[in-house]
Structure 1
């Protein structure tokens, strides 16, 4: 399977690219608005993997080219770049492409981080309005500590909450998530539940910031 990470040069994009390349045989495509930056980061990821004895090919492209070649497109961009990114790649998406959004809207003040959903009610709802009709959208990977996930020496025992209105698309994303060692996918229902999932990210960051030893906090439901 070909997985494109639009915004794959950022924190969560890097983490997912490295983990999928390390744990699976899927073809990983790193996307960016700047194709030269994408190619440079792809080379960095290959070097990191090679140092661990993994001969994986990671390719870098402009976001549009990465999406055009992919079966699954992860929008690994901040919430404020989400719609622009979808609009840039929209003509490369079709009903056979699964689009994944891990983006969360947040704002910071003196008390910490707070969930800041857009007028649509959630970032996923905003994304659903932007993707072409018929293209399945799934939310996943919101509540992961990207720094720890990108550290291939670090073990993780986390859950990721997966939501969406297309059962087949959710199954694909859940299977991809669980191919990452230590990650468990839990079904959180439909897109209407997006705000509940997205809001957990700000909570985890605040808990991590205020408690020693919890810098790389994740969540596990038991």
Structure 2
């Protein structure tokens, strides 16, 4: 399977790219608004993998080109870029493409981070509204620590919650998540439930801020 990480030069994009390239045989594409930046980052990821004895090719493209080539497109962009990013390559998607949204709307003040959902109710819902009607959207990977994800020396041992209205698309993302060692995907219902999941992210970051032993905290359900 071919996975495009649009915004794959950022923190969550780096972590997912490295984990999928390290743990699976899926083809990984890095997308960016700046294709040269995407190619540079792709080479950095290849170098990191090579240092661990993994010979993988990671390619970089403009977001539109990466999305056009992919079976699964991950929106690894800040929440305020999600709508424009999807609209920018919407014409490159088809009914077999699965769109994945991990972004979370947050605001910071002196106390910490606070959940700040868009008017649609969640960033996942924003992605679904911007995507063509025939393209399935799945929310996933919201509550993962990007730093922990990108450090291949660290075992994840965490859960990721999935939301989506299309059963087949959810199954694809569940499979891709489960192939990352130490990550357990759990289905949490339709896109309408995304806000409850996204709101966990600022909580986890605040826990890490106020408790040194919870640095890079994640969620795990018993």
- Do both share a fold (TM > 0.5)? yes
Return the alpha-carbon distance in structure 1 between the equivalents of residues 14 and 121 of structure 2. 28
Partner residue of 1:146? 146
- Segments of 5+ residues of structure 1 without an aligned counterpart are none
Moved over 4 A (4+): none
The residue matched to 1:193 in structure 2 has which SS? helix
Partner residue of 2:41? 41
Partner residue of 1:130? 130
- TM-score (ref. length: structure 1): 0.99
Return the alpha-carbon distance in structure 2 between the equivalents of residues 142 and 64 of structure 1. 23
Partner residue of 1:215? 215
Count how many residue pairs are aligned between Structure 1 and Structure 2: 222
Return the alpha-carbon distance in structure 2 between the equivalents of residues 24 and 212 of structure 1. 32
C-alpha deviation, 1:192, in angstroms = 0.5
The residue matched to 2:142 in structure 1 has which SS? coil
The residue matched to 1:213 in structure 2 has which SS? helix
Partner residue of 1:97? 97
Q: How does 1:138-217 map to 2 (within 5 A)?
A: 138-217=138-217
C-alpha deviation, 1:124, in angstroms = 1.1
The residue matched to 1:104 in structure 2 has which SS? coil
Q: How does 1:52-131 map to 2 (within 5 A)?
A: 52-131=52-131
Return the alpha-carbon distance in structure 2 between the equivalents of residues 192 and 87 of structure 1. 21
Return the alpha-carbon distance in structure 1 between the equivalents of residues 18 and 95 of structure 2. 27
C-alpha deviation, 1:105, in angstroms = 0.2
CA RMSD of aligned residues (A): 0.5
Return the alpha-carbon distance in structure 2 between the equivalents of residues 191 and 204 of structure 1. 21
Return the alpha-carbon distance in structure 2 between the equivalents of residues 77 and 172 of structure 1. 21
Deviations 1:78-100 (A, max 9, x none): 10010110011111111100000
Deviations 1:12-38 (A, max 9, x none): 000000000000000000000000000
The residue matched to 1:84 in structure 2 has which SS? helix
The residue matched to 1:160 in structure 2 has which SS? strand
Partner residue of 2:11? 11
C-alpha deviation, 1:174, in angstroms = 0.5
Return the alpha-carbon distance in structure 1 between the equivalents of residues 2 and 130 of structure 2. 22
C-alpha deviation, 1:141, in angstroms = 0.2
